[in-house]
Amino acid sequence: MMKKIGLIVLMGMLMFTTGLVMAQDAPAADAGTVTAPAGSTPGSATFVDVVRGGGFLGIVLWVAIFVTSVAGIALIVDAFITVRAVKIMPPTLVKDVQTAMEQGDVMKALQHCEEEPCPVSSVLSAGFSNVEEGFDTIQDAVSVAAAMEEERLMQRVNYLNVVGNLAPMLGLLGTVQGMIAAFAGLASAGAAGGGALALSISQALYTTAFGLFIAIPALAFFYYFRNRASTIILTMERLTMDEIKILRNVEVVDA
């Protein structure tokens, strides 16, 4: 899955860079300056004009923003696929383990877990492997196994948090760079360059707007999937402890 995400990001970056290179057929602004395209008025600049107007650094920042947006979308799709109760706790495995534990057959339950490796099977195996060590030891083993599975589950989801924090910072950097260039141009043009300054500032603010547009859903989905994963992990812990209690009840009856 991570290879697919990397391939999507690489393809998107190549397409975006190719479009920028093709757009350079028209005369581009000097690096580090933001100038209004000839004959344009405030509000008439195209997206290509906005990107080219930032110079080389502006283009690099736009490519970085685009990459973060593609990565954010890929991570959200991946999280929707992986952070699911059905995938983490397969109903057939849970049912088979419950049946085996009701019969007091721990070895059969362990066999079911080994035949279908998944997060819940790892947590169940940790509890069943220590069934003779006492309830406190079982609880500690289950908690450790659950924490490890949660860490594995959250490894890719945490990248959404990175995207959500990185995108607005890239946007802000692009805006600062554009503002510096705009005011430098105003110093050269004097009072007559007021219209061009307004257009340059509006173009510079686009990077912050796009950064926020990427960051808001990325952070929202990060907290959503984090809470979803925590709920599933807690459910796995409770399921394991319930199965251990069932086994203890069966042993008491047999005694």
DSSP codes of every residue in 8-20: HHHHHHHHHHHHH
| Residue range 164-194, pLDDT digits in tens | 999 999 988 888 888 887 777 776 665 555 6
Amino acid (1-letter code) at residue 133: E
pLDDT in tens, 198-252: 667 777 788 889 999 999 999 999 999 999 988 888 888 888 778 777 666 544 3
Which pLDDT score is estimated for 165? Answer: 93
The DSSP code for 116 is: S
> pTM of whole model > 0.75?
no
The token duo for 220 is 């929202």
Structure confidence at residue 24 as a pLDDT band (50, 70, 90): very low
pLDDT digits (tens, 9 = 90+) for 33-50: 444 444 444 445 676 766
